[in-house]
Amino acid sequence: MNKYFKSLLIIGLLATIVNADNSNLNLSRGYKNHKTETLWSKISSFFSDTHKKKYKQRVVYIMMKNGIKYQWTRTGWKKISPSSSLLKNKQDNTIVKIAKTQLGSKYVWGATGDKGTFDCSGLTQYVYKQRGITIPRTSRVQSKYGKYIPRNSLNAGDLIFFDTSKKHKGYVNHVGIYIGNNQFLHASSAKKKVVISKLNKTFYGKRFKVARRPQYYASK
């Protein structure tokens, strides 16, 4: 049996083992499964230089878990470079599309999507989870997660945080998702539902505290 067929056999055996022992990783080969966010790609062989020269194309296993991209190598799963679309200053319109599906949903303090109800941080956590990204539960902790974004550099999909307390206590107690054009989507306790508001309105403009881009850390 030549080296080429031995390599193919090894790949097959590894794939079988990985699928059997790590079914929760949603490993797939040869196609993109949108439900499991599994990605695949044909790239140069990661075997010996001789094989790279003789067989330039190989199927390499790549998968996403909790917003992090991994590649299967001879020594196991390894994190690989984060997606450039998440790191560069690009709009994350997928976040916005997911968030808009919840417009009008009822506000309930402490709710995270059960029976279609949310509080502010429950909504943001739910939307990001649908994107394949896990973020903390409360607005105060969410405000410390992800890359800091200046207010004048906001992109669609960024999280924006506010101090909406009557006495301006100075700490974060509200969060929304920036959707562009000086607007953000949030679960409003005052409106009792998920709404879109203007960021430059007097109330929210003065109560703005910080903005974060969770995708930056999630994709590392």
pLDDT band at 75 (very low <50, low <70, confident <90, very high): confident
- Residue whose structure tokens are 């100075």: 170
Q: Is 51 a catalytic residue?
A: no
What is the full DSSP assignment across 130-198? HTT----SSHHHHTTSSEE--GGG--TT-EEEE---TT--SS--EEEEEEETTEEEEEETTTTEEEEEE
Q: Is 174 a catalytic residue?
A: yes
**Residue 210 carries which side chain, given as an amino acid letter?**
V
- pLDDT surpasses 60 at 83: no
pLDDT band at 54 (very low <50, low <70, confident <90, very high): very low
Q: Is 34 a catalytic residue?
A: no
Question: What average pLDDT does the segment 53-68 reach?
Answer: 54
72 or 63, which is more confident: 72
pTM comes to 0.61
For domain 86-218, the question of CATH label 3.40.50.300 is answered with no
The pLDDT value given to residue 74? 73
- pLDDT surpasses 90 at 91: no
Here the tokens at position 41 are: 């790609």
154 or 78, which is more confident: 154
Query: Using a CB cutoff of 8 Å and minimum separation of 24, what contacts does 112-116 make?
Result: 112/137
pLDDT band at 148 (very low <50, low <70, confident <90, very high): very high
Domain boundaries, the chain: 3-80, 86-218
- pLDDT surpasses 90 at 62: no
58 or 77, which is more confident: 77
Indicate which residue of 34, 51, 120, 168 is catalytic: 120
